[in-house]
Structure 1
């Protein structure tokens, strides 16, 4: 956790420094404005930590105020950082053409460059807010010989990375559950990071989740953010919301379907994962819930469908390029061979900034059909 905080603060501060360098020219010689701007940036750097601190000490209203300012700013800052780098790259190319090719071109002046960064980042932030609210339903159809003879079809709905917290509350939950009800699934699964705030502050959301009661119930696993906010409290809230929580264990639902869920971890655990998958009855379709889209080679062939999340498809482009390097199976559906399929959700909510750019949120609806 401390390593994460040090890395986050270092990277986030560096992004603010680049942004300040690009736009401070607009302040001119007004030292008071420059000082106020610097203080504001400092507060924004600390705002994610301040949110957590205020929430944990019971200052929920104050925490929500900070969150409603700090997290949208984070999204804007991310985009402004990349826009700043893009302007810098263009100026570097223009300088190179002038210096080495003798082309008579001038670099973009500082003030127009600053305006371009602010306008572009602002427009992308507005678009990102729209995209984050544009929940999509992704559909997958799998044929199998592993359904019982009297069960021609099962429908599973997957939500992932909902991040219920200071920003993601009633509006987000209602929108998601409305889409779940429309899908009319036999089973609802959550593949981690459902809770991302103090569980006591999420009490008003419990009736919303409790009201959704698919025929085969609701099953969840924990993600890394449940650990960040306090694992035991997050698990208790998830159970009270009506989910059966699988944490390195398995269950068979109504003699129709095996569901195996593993704890969140950075590393594969061949003995634990393969042992769990072998513990369920053979001959039934096996649904494998694992927060991170990592496929342990020893498990291929032991599950029929692995459902994962975690990556958000980068959430804000171009972070998707870096996420793809870390997680090769970072978005969509993959045939792993030996009858095993992996689907990685883009996530149903947002972490931190309430925006998405080229990574719209999704609910996944899987139709499992008996092959004749």
Structure 2
């Protein structure tokens, strides 16, 4: 059943991509008034290649990662992001065309199309630069019965780094330098540290050993670690000072830190059961990659829950999709009574190395006692 579902998902995704490229082709031919058969053939062949480029690049970089396949993956990913903006431009062109008819408006659609497509290009260029700009998101969290030693101390959440074909050792080295400048007591890595490619896992983990955090560095897996293979991740982390939580609880100097790994395969995890099984007696900090089972976390007495996964959609307008799936928990700070939850947009990118309407962030959490 799972294999059938995967096949249906892949086929559906490919159908959407092919349809999107055909829509782009037909729109370009229409509004640029292209009638020459050779030019139309060249455009159709080019778009046909681009339509399968990301899937092909993903396969190639997984099986034979080198400078050529990495750059192919980078370009294919950016094309996929640019395609989103081109499709928006196409929709606007058709809307303007339809609306112009009843009013008898005579417009030069060739020039308008050129302007819309050029804007999409420049927005794409901006989004690439924006994705590389790391923002420090600062929040205050008030915890009931917070141990005195944690008053005004700083925790850092780093999520969705996606180290692999695009983001490599130089990226994580930059992140580590930023972390150390913030002087945290502890650092929480909340999943998708790896992108799901084999890569040089030890090279990606080694820079984490340079983090200065008196109370330690704690790691939970996300869905991309399951694609890579959790055993490989465990082996790489075992050769570092990073603590893989693996559904367990530790006493973090008076805080009950519980980290729950992402389910593997068809595994089902009930957060409340796992939390209660650990029998926490102190304020609870819960790390879980996907912002789900929020009510269970509340009922289990969690004080602070940290998640990632959504990227806040990464590229507008996909944030509307993540909001439709995860509701108010798709991004940002949520507080209710003694419960606080934060979903980060992550510090890395998946697929297109682009961010529009979102930011690459590290979350700086300052703890305060709740009266």
Question: 2:210 and 2:33 mapped to 1: Cα distance?
Answer: 53
Residue segments in structure 2 that go unaligned for 5+ positions in a row: 1-5
Map of 1:111-260 to 2, 5 A cutoff? 111-240=110-239, 242-253=241-252, 255-260=253-258
Q: 1:281 to 1:48 in 2, by over 3 A?
A: same
**Contact kept? 1:191, 1:291, Cα under 8 Å:** yes
Residue 17 (structure 1) aligns with = 22
- What is the CA-CA distance between 1:220 and the residue it aligns to? 1.5
Which residue of structure 1 aligns with residue 321 of structure 2? Answer: 322
**Could you say what the CA RMSD is over the residues aligned between the two structures, in angstroms?**
2.7
**Does residue 291 of the first structure (1) align with residue 296 of the second (2)?**
no
- Contact kept? 1:22, 1:110, Cα under 8 Å: no
The equivalences for 1:17-56 within 5 A come to 17-25=22-30, 26=32, 28-56=34-62
Stretches of structure 1 that go unaligned for 5 or more consecutive residues are none
Partner of 1:28, secondary structure, is coil
Aligned partner of 1:264 in structure 2 is 262
Aligned partners of 1:165 and 1:195 also within 8 Å? yes
Matches of 2:93 and 2:238, distance apart in 1: 49
Q: Which moved more, 1:141-150 or 1:117-126?
A: 141-150
Offset of 1:59 from its aligned partner?
4.0
Cα distance change, pair 84–230 in 1 and its aligned pair in 2 (3 A): farther
CA distance in 1 between partners of 2:349 and 2:186 (Å): 23
| Structure 2 equivalent of residue 61 of structure 1 | 67
Deviation at 1:185, TM superposition (A): 0.9
Q: Which TM-score applies when normalising by structure 1?
A: 0.88
Q: Does 1:80 align with 2:78?
A: no
| SS across alignment from 1:304 | strand
- On the 8 A contact 1:54/1:60 being kept in 2, the answer is no
State how far apart, in whole Å, the 2-side matches of 1:86 and 1:75 are.
17
> When the two structures are superposed, what TM-score results if normalisation uses the length of structure 2?
0.88
Structure 1 Cα separation of the partners of residues 35 and 13 of structure 2? 32
User: How far did 1:156 drift?
Assistant: 1.1
Measured after TM superposition, the shift of residue 16 of structure 1 is: 1.4
Count, aligned residues? 363
